[in-house]
A and B are shown apart, each in its own frame.
Chain A
Amino acid sequence: MSDPRSRLALGVAAIALALYALFFAGDYALHVLTRAGIYAIAAIGYQLIFGRLGALSLAQGCFFGLGAYAAGLGALELGLGFPLTLAAGVLLPSLLAALIAIPVLRLASHYFALATLGIAQLALLVATNWTDVTGGANGLYGVPPIETGTLSFGHGLPLTLLVWACVGLALTVSHRMTAGQRGLKVETLREAPLAAAALGIDGSAIRFRFFVASAALGGLAGALQAHAVGVVSPDVLQFHVLVLILAMTVIGGRASPLGAVLGALLLVHLPEWFRDFADYYLVVYGAALLAAIIFLPRGLAGLFGKSEMPPVETADAEAPRDPAPHTLSVETVSKRFGGVTALDSVSLTLAPGEILGLIGPNGSGKTTLVNLLSGIDKPDGGRILLGDADITGKPPEYIARSGLCRSFQHPQIAPDLTVLESVEAVTAEGESAAARVTEAGLSDRANENAGTLPPAALKHLEIARALAAGASVLALDEPAAGMNEVERANLAALLKRLADAGHGILLIDHAMDFLLPLADRVICLSAGRVVAEGTPADVARDPAAINAYFGESPL
């Protein structure tokens, strides 16, 4: 909500809604408003896992239903009162999510979707067939209205206010999980998961937290639903519940908690508004949804503008910190893919302040080596040391936090983040994002979206992120690819400055007129083996390097 007019419009709308609920809405209108609030909570939860992380979980309806069953069983079988039933409704789906998170969250997108769908179907089968506990297809009926002490929230305005107070709670939780650098990390993780890991973002921990939080909010909504409706049947676990929550998230606006609320308000009220169309109300409802998707690609929340960080003045940025010096040592590292040996006993060292050129024909193993160094692949043999620390086979985020970061042949970025936000997302404690943006020569573009940057600026952005993440060693995979002479000269100057500041740089590139003058030493790989090593001049004249890569000496 960047502009004041949008914020004002939203504030007025919220106040108008509150006044309507307090003074004008009848029992039916309050009931519909209550339903909207309940679904808003589930949608805010779903937005965390689907909207923010981009993981298509098909279990949110299941968590909603489990929350309803937990609250219903707690009240009817265990005699629990409110708010213990609410706690049960939050706890059961949260526990299930935590239990299944470890195997499920490792899966790639479509397998993740299928796995979560399987869990949802399993829950539905249990609810339908475990008749003694769940009441079978009839379900549980007579779930008491919400009462605590002398206060009754059974129905009408008290229930509506309670539910919307819970919406406020859900918004607070969502805000705390996605505000500031946390939100930037999540955006980077969704749009560029490999880069996120290689820059020290612990994707597993974030996915786990968000999955459990989405389950907790789904369960909270389900528990409220159980008390509001008084019946819990397998219907709450049916696929259509998920579809409704998904539609609310998409139509409201995938990345905004406000969108989840707006989506819930719209999708719960639309069918009621269209009741007078009798048999055709679903057709009108469908047409309205289609129109919303076509004409509001950013969802309803898009009407209120994009949330942005305030523009940052980079001129006054603090000077960047010098890195802690680390020597990178690679000892007889090997990697095989099936019957293909990609790397065969490769060894090298990279001292602080040194630029080591890595050259070789396509398929010689250069990128594979960078993947092993950065933890994206694990070696089959050998050791990798960063200083005294053995980082062999460690996860990418561990290696990044240890001080080794990399760039990619094709820059991995979050296109909707500005340059400064992209760097802020990975900035280590004590580092300054603005300083690193300035250092990388991007201060003029600090507030531009990364997705709009030209290729050369993207390469600089990747370097700025690596520096902000606290890297003392940089592994740069073809940073000069596609650059013109001026851009290469700027990049060379930047790398030289970084080396002078104590960074060790492993530099892969095919542009010999860029790499050879810049590198202190060069290693030539061919078919996964080191065939030449030495100063740039020595390697350029080495018969093995000429035979394997140059064809003729570049000197």
Chain B
Amino acid sequence: MFLKSAAVALTALLATSLTAKAETIPVLVPITGFLSLEGTSQRNGAVLAIERYGKDLGLDAEVTDTGTSPEGAVTALRRALEDKPSAAVASMLGTQMLAMLPIAGRAGVPLLTVSGTAKITEIGIPWVFRFFPGDSVVKVAQARYAIEELGAKRPALLHQTTAYGQSGAEHLRRIMRELGAPLVFEEAIDISVKDMLPALTRMQEAKPDLILLHLHSGSTALVIRQARDQNIALPILAGSAMHQPTTAALLEPKQLAGVCAESASSPISEPEGQVEDFTAEYRARFGTEPDAFALAQYDGVSMLIAAKNAGARTAAEVRDWLASNSYDGLAMTYKSDGKGNMAHDAVVVCYDGKSAVPVIKRRYENVSGVK
């Protein structure tokens, strides 16, 4: 009798534990190194979505730091593949994605990312799904806002030397030229550079009427701070790093006067609705402000869970579902363009010089014409 009771109890326990943890979703993101701020946002978004929507499916998240090297990302992915997951959240760093994709392709596991690097969806590996608008979307929004709203005729561009920086610069250079306001100055800045005055001084000699930035978070804050300290009062239209609350926190509100930024979204700028609920929950869970990367990855994982709720179990089924369905996320509606580019909207936010919370000035929907 005792043995029978024990066997029943053990079976129940095993069944419970199996139900409680049916699958671990690997979250392979850079939480150390120069992309730690953005990578942490990406991690938080993924974890929050799994905690909120994945519990009923027995989903759990296992976070692995990829650092910023391709080999670090490959190692993390190979480790994750040991458990044969049906999908993985993968780094927002383009060079890491380029290293991981062939391996994911061979293993047949879809990677969900918020990387902005254009090439990851151009190399013909159909296992990548990008939930953050690529440069072909956000750079169009940035260029159009510069010309249509800010009246730029002589824009200058400061961009990072990283893959992100070079990719965005290439797009901005082309789009600005096509829109009739070619760049009058351009300089690439290494991620380790702290003194921006030489670049700003050279830029001033070109007499620009607008500063375009396409830099990571730290460099963005340094350029704006040093430009304002030098009384350079030109309007600044920055890349998506500037919309991040962690970037704005590095600056005084008055230094942010005349500063705008492109982004996929700006959760803290949404005063009501589901995005506000997300923001409140994010703050409570992580004690910090969410940004567009967090929201995009949250939406991406939510779509993955939607796929599973719709019956996709294997990695191939998940991929097929993601590739062929649209999903109404909090930031936008996501739909693949056939290459894995899921996000096609952008916003431009601006600071008023009194607050560190930007206002959404304009939305650019379906820029790539996919939806």
Contacts and interface: CB of A to CB of B under 8 A. Distances in A.
Interface of A: 26-28, 31-32, 35, 128-129, 131, 136-139, 141-142, 225, 228-231, 233, 235-236, 238, 240, 272, 275, 278-279, 281-282
B75 interface: yes
Interface in B77-107: 78-79, 81-82, 94-95, 98-99, 102-103
A136 B162 CA distance: 8
B359 to A, nearest CB: 33
The winner among B31, B63, B161, B164 for most chain A CB atoms within 10 A is B161
B42 to A, nearest CB: 15
Given A129-B161, A281-B65, A233 B95 contact: yes
Contacts of B142: none
Contacts of B119: 138, 141
Contact of A27 (B32, B78, B163): B78
Contacts of A233: 70, 95, 98, 163
Interface string B136-150: 000000000000000
B74 A275 contact: no
Contacts of B94: 138
A155 to B, nearest CB: 8
A27 B70 CA distance: 18
B24 interface: no
Contacts of B161: 128-129, 137
Contacts of B64: 275
Contact of B82 (A27, A139, A225): A27
A279 B75 contact: no
A72 to B, nearest CB: 12
Interface residues of B, number: 33
A281 B67 CA distance: 12
B199 to A, nearest CB: 15
26 contacts: A26-B82, A27-B82, A28-B79, A31-B78, A35-B75, A129-B161, A136-B163, A136-B166, A137-B161, A137-B162, A137-B166, A138-B95, A141-B95, A141-B99, A142-B102, A225-B71, A229-B74, A230-B99, A233-B70, A233-B95, A233-B98, A235-B70, A272-B79, A275-B64, A281-B65, A282-B65
Contact of B31 (A225, A230, A272, A279): A279
B117 A282 contact: no
B95 A229 contact: no
Tell me whether chain A's interface is mostly helix, strand or loop, or mixed. Answer: helix
Contacts of A28: 75, 78-79, 81-82
Contacts of B74: 31, 229
A215 to B, nearest CB: 21
Contacts, number: 81
B95 A235 contact: yes
A131 B70 contact: no
Contacts of A129: 161, 188
A231 B103 CA distance: 12
Contacts of B65: 281-282
Nearest to A32: B75
A142 B123 contact: yes
A69 to B, nearest CB: 13
Contacts of A282: 32, 65
B155 interface: no
A249 B190 CA distance: 29
Interface of B: 31-32, 63-65, 68-71, 74-75, 78-79, 81-82, 94-95, 98-99, 102-103, 117, 119, 123, 161-167, 188, 190
Contact of B71 (A136, A142, A229): A229
A235 B31 contact: no
B71 A138 contact: no
The winner among A128, A129, A131, A272 for most chain B CB atoms within 10 A is A128
Contacts of A275: 64, 79
B98 to A, nearest CB: 4
A275 B162 CA distance: 27
Given A131-B166, A141-B99, 9 more contacts: A28-B81, A128-B190, A138-B117, A138-B163, A141-B123, A231-B95, A235-B70, A272-B75, A278-B63
A279 B64 CA distance: 9
Contacts of B71: 35, 225, 228-229
A127 to B, nearest CB: 10
The winner among A129, A230, A235, A240 for most chain B CB atoms within 10 A is A235
Contacts of B162: 137
Contacts of A27: 78, 81-82
B70 A229 contact: yes
Nearest 7 Cβ contacts at the A-B interface = A231-B99, A137-B163, A141-B98, A233-B95, A138-B163, A28-B78, A231-B70
Nearest to B80: A28
Contacts of A136: 163, 166
The winner among A31, A129, A137 for most chain B CB atoms within 10 A is A137
Contacts of A228: 71
Nearest to A138: B163
Nearest to A244: B69
A137 to B, nearest CB: 4
Contacts of B123: 141-142
A245 B98 CA distance: 25
A75 B301 CA distance: 37
Contacts of B163: 136-139, 233
Contacts of A137: 95, 161-166
Contacts of A279: 31
A313 B57 CA distance: 78
A279 B63 CA distance: 9
Contacts of A230: 99, 102-103
A31 B75 contact: yes
A131 B64 CA distance: 31
B100 to A, nearest CB: 9
Nearest to B31: A279
Contacts of A240: 69
Nearest to B98: A141
B167 A138 contact: yes
Nearest to B68: A235
Contacts of A238: 69
A389 B94 CA distance: 66
Nearest to B65: A281
A272 B117 CA distance: 28
Given A32-B75, A35-B75, A139 B98 contact: yes
Contacts of B167: 138
Contacts of A231: 70, 95, 98-99
